[in-house]
Amino acid sequence: MGRIAIFTDDPGWHGKQLRHAFAARGYSAEYVSLTECRIQLQAGLLPLYIPNFENSLPDAVFVRGVPGGSLEEVVLYLDILHALKIMGIPVYNDGHAIERSVDKGMTSFLLQQHHVPTPATWVLRDRQQAIAIAEAELRSGQQLISKPIFGSQGEGIRRIEKMSDLFWLTHSQGVYYLQRFVECAGEGYSDWRVFVVRGKVIAAMRRRGIHWLNNVARGASCEAVQADPKMEEIAIKASNALQMNYAGVDIICSPEDGYQVIEVNSIPAWKGLESVCDIAVADILVDDLLADVVPSVQVVA
Ligand SMILES: Nc1ncnc2c1ncn2[C@@H]1O[C@H](COP(=O)(O)OP(=O)(O)O)[C@@H](O)[C@H]1O
Ligand SMILES: [Mg+2]
């Protein structure tokens, strides 16, 4: 029987779905916390210690969560993911894809480099420069969004509408991420979550926020939509720009500039999507990952 590691500190509904999908394909899956893994360069042992895989490394790993922590801790977690890949073990999404997308500054940069439409964005350290950029934007009639570069689920996002809001302009661990606010087309507030697997859109939904934050975790309601060809093209391009096996791409539509990608998630949730679409996301992801698995026997030397 093949054996899979699911990296997560909180398996929950998604972990269960994955475990089920792996089991249906003849693979057992163990939940593992990256905090309990180690590099161990010692004769007679595998170079990586993964709980429950002491004698034989997993056939593949599914990354459902990378814990936060100090820079050193996070580098170690990413090292484990990189090392598994270097040893020929499929890592889904891999450490590089996670690194690029968890860092909103690098995500925005790569989207722009790959000609994926994305709002004007600034990422910087200096407060005076951040204030000057924000003042110039407000003066020219724009509003801004400030985000923590490692944020998710709408956490810590602020809208800057007027000069007096600058008083509250906050950095995240010393770094300012400022993005031009996109007024969305149509009534109320909404954006799209487009789910891409191996360069194909498998489903899309519209998220309507209670306020301007359209995260499901912030109470946004979901509604299935058929992505139009332009939206599909942009979502696929965004996923490719970040070299993802699969991705949850957040797209907002501006009345003037059309679709704009605001975020690419490398560990997207799919509970909201499945509640409105008739698809089995875990099955699709597991099939896609297992297509890259060459069953192998790795034993302690
Ligand atoms: N530039 C923007 N203009 C308008 N709304 C935005 C912008 N950026 C983010 N938002 C709103 O905030 C939500 C969360 O932003 P996002 O960049 O996806 O970060 P998170 O990782 O927290 O989901 C989006 O779904 C959207 O509703
Ligand atoms: Mg988002």
Atom of ligand 1 nearest to the CA of 156: 22
Could you give all domains of the chain from N- to C-terminal order, each with its CATH number? Answer: 2-93+286-290 (3.40.50.20), 103-117+184-266 (3.30.470.20), 121-180 (3.30.1490)
* Residue nearest ligand 1's atom 21 by CA: 152
Q: Position of tokens 């008083």?
A: 167
- Among 181, 128, 138, 180, residue whose Cα is nearest residue 162: 138
CB of 243 closer than 8 Å to CB of 97: yes
In the DSSP assignment, the letter for residue 235 is H
Look at residue 89 and give its three-state secondary structure. coil
CB contact at 8 A, 246 and 201 = no
Q: Report the nearest atom of ligand 1 relative to the CA of 155.
A: 22
Q: State pLDDT tens for residues 286-295.
A: 999 999 887 6
Note the pLDDT of residue 212. Answer: 85
What average pLDDT does range 262-282 have in this prediction? Answer: 95
Classify residue 88 as left (phi > 0), alpha (psi -120 to 50) or beta. left
**Who surrounds ion ligand 2 at CB < 5 A?**
250, 263
**Which of 262, 266, 273 has most ligand 1 atoms within 8 Å of CB, for mutation?**
262
250 C-alpha to ligand 2 centroid (Å): 6
Q: Best of 108, 214, 273 to mutate for ligand 1, by most ligand atoms within 8 A of CB?
A: 214
pLDDT band at 147 (very low <50, low <70, confident <90, very high): very high
Question: pLDDT-based confidence at 301, cuts 50/70/90?
Answer: very low
Strand (E) or helix (H) holding 251: strand 246-254
Closest CA to 85 of 289, 265, 246: 289
Confidence of residue 185 (pLDDT cuts 50, 70, 90): confident
Secondary structure of residue 279 in the 3-state scheme: coil
Choosing from 144, 252, 253, 273 the residue with most ligand 1 atoms within 8 A of its CB, the one to mutate for a pocket test is 252
Backbone angles phi, psi at 199, to 5 degrees: 75, 15
Q: Does the bond joining 93 to the residue before it have cis omega, within 30 degrees of 0?
A: yes
Would you call 203 helix, strand, or coil by DSSP? strand
User: Mean pLDDT across the chain, nearest whole number?
Assistant: 94
> By alpha-carbon position, which residue is closest to atom 11 of ligand 1?
213
15-48 pLDDT tens trace: 999 999 999 999 999 999 999 999 999 999 999 9
CA-nearest residue for atom 15, ligand 1, is 154
The CA 181 to ligand 1 mean position distance, Å, reads 9
pTM of the shown model: 0.94
Q: What is the pLDDT of residues 191-244, one digit of tens each?
A: 999 999 999 999 999 999 888 888 888 888 999 999 999 999 999 999 999 999
Atom 7 of ligand 1: nearest residue by CA position: 181
Which SS3 state, helix, strand or coil, does residue 164 take? Answer: helix
Question: What CA–CA distance (Å, rounded) separates 194 from 184?
Answer: 16
Q: Which numbered atom of ligand 1 lies nearest the CA of 104?
A: 17
For the stretch 53-109, pLDDT in tens is 999 999 999 999 999 999 999 999 999 999 999 999 999 999 999 999 999 999 999
**Which of 112, 132, 243, 258 has the alpha carbon at shortest distance from 183?**
258
Q: Nearest to residue 134, comparing CAs of 149, 145, 119?
A: 145
Instruction: Report residues whose beta carbon is within 6 angstroms of any ligand 1 atom.
Output: 119, 145, 147, 151-155, 157, 179, 181-182, 191, 209, 212-215, 250, 252, 262-263
